[in-house]
Amino acid sequence: MKMRFSYFCFIVFILFISCNSGDEVYTFDGEAAYEYLLGQCNFGPRPPGSETHIQCLNYLVDHFQKYADKVEKQTFSHLGYNGQFIPMTNIIAKFNLDRKDRIVLLAHWDTRPWAEYSENEEDLETPIMGANDGASGVAILMQLAVMFNEKPPPVGVDIFLTDGEDYGMPGDIDNYLLGAKYYARNLRGQLPQCGILLDMIGDKDLQIYKEKYSVRYAPKIVERIWHIADSLGITEFKNSEKHTMIDDHLPLNEAGIKTVNIIDFDYPYWHTQKDTPDKCSPESLAKVGTVLANFVYTYKSR
């Protein structure tokens, strides 16, 4: 496999840190994750209710069934703007079933049914590819599943892919975050100790600031994540706050799961037809995936 020079330099840098720190550093394969990003985008746009949505659902379930201890499909329906109910599915892949202390890692796998910020008027009501807005976070979780299968983490992990996150029309908050809201309403038993949401983290020009709701609800988890990034020399994690996001972490926080949103919202192709794989990079996926892997593998239950 050919490896991009910048990605190769990043891996060498991480290995250098590992050798000189004395602590194990867990590296993440950004190239493999990028292939999973492409795998999703190969279906085309994947809005709920479409044939490509069903095809991608089967692709994702098949993947996690290869690596997880258990995969659950959480099905529900939602009344669409056309007056018909749209079937939706959350995917929950569980690792270390015997552990009561658990964390949840999530990303949305649906894509937006319209591109309201596209420059061309004819594109405004067409679904987007969602390479960064959806597929990038899912791609990292797909590769983490491979890692967790090869080397089980010290804590129970639920990888949670939400559906219907991006269904709502502009300004219609009630029709966003549908899968996360359904999950939060149906929680049973002991809650996960914390959660981490990945959203729009594949951008080539990666800049991740501390999201303000995350700081409000889960300040200790935020500080742990940014400390890991700093210790690894991953400077794309900026040590300042920016943006207050209505995103899938809010229903989980409101349900009592302290959840952080890792998001690069400074993305010029958001909700346009230009949100395509060429705007994303294996290097960005590797950096976020490395931070997340080191968070999970060094996690200490409260």
CA separation for the pair 139, 135 (Å, rounded): 6
Q: Which among 118, 155, 122, 159 has a CA at the least distance from the CA of 36?
A: 159
Categorize the per-residue pLDDT at 23 as very low, low, confident or very high, splitting at 50, 70 and 90: confident
Q: What is the pLDDT of residues 177-201, one digit of tens each?
A: 999 999 999 999 899 999 999 999 9
pTM above 0.75, yes or no: yes
CATH architecture type of domain 5-297:
3-Layer(aba) Sandwich (3.40)
**Helix axes 30-41 and 5-21, enclosed angle (nearest 10):** 140
Categorize the per-residue pLDDT at 1 as very low, low, confident or very high, splitting at 50, 70 and 90: very low
Q: What is the pLDDT of residues 128-157, one digit of tens each?
A: 999 999 999 999 999 999 999 999 999 999
The pair phi, psi for residue 108, each rounded to 5°, is -95, 140
Q: What is the pLDDT of residues 84-129, one digit of tens each?
A: 999 999 999 999 999 999 999 999 999 999 999 998 888 888 999 9
- Bridge partners of 260, per DSSP, are 196
Categorize the per-residue pLDDT at 29 as very low, low, confident or very high, splitting at 50, 70 and 90: very high
CA separation for the pair 302, 297 (Å, rounded): 15
Check pLDDT > 60 for residue 11.
no
Check pLDDT > 60 for residue 214.
yes
| DSSP state at residue 141 | H
Domain ranges of the chain: 5-297
pLDDT computed for residue 121 by the predictor: 87
- CA diameter of the chain: 61
Q: What is the pLDDT of residues 67-86, one digit of tens each?
A: 999 999 999 999 999 999 99
CA separation for the pair 121, 115 (Å, rounded): 10
pLDDT higher at 232 or 14: 232
Say which amino acid occupies 155: V
pLDDT computed for residue 10 by the predictor: 59
Find out whether 245 and 197 touch, Cβ atoms under 8 Å.
no
CA separation for the pair 175, 193 (Å, rounded): 27
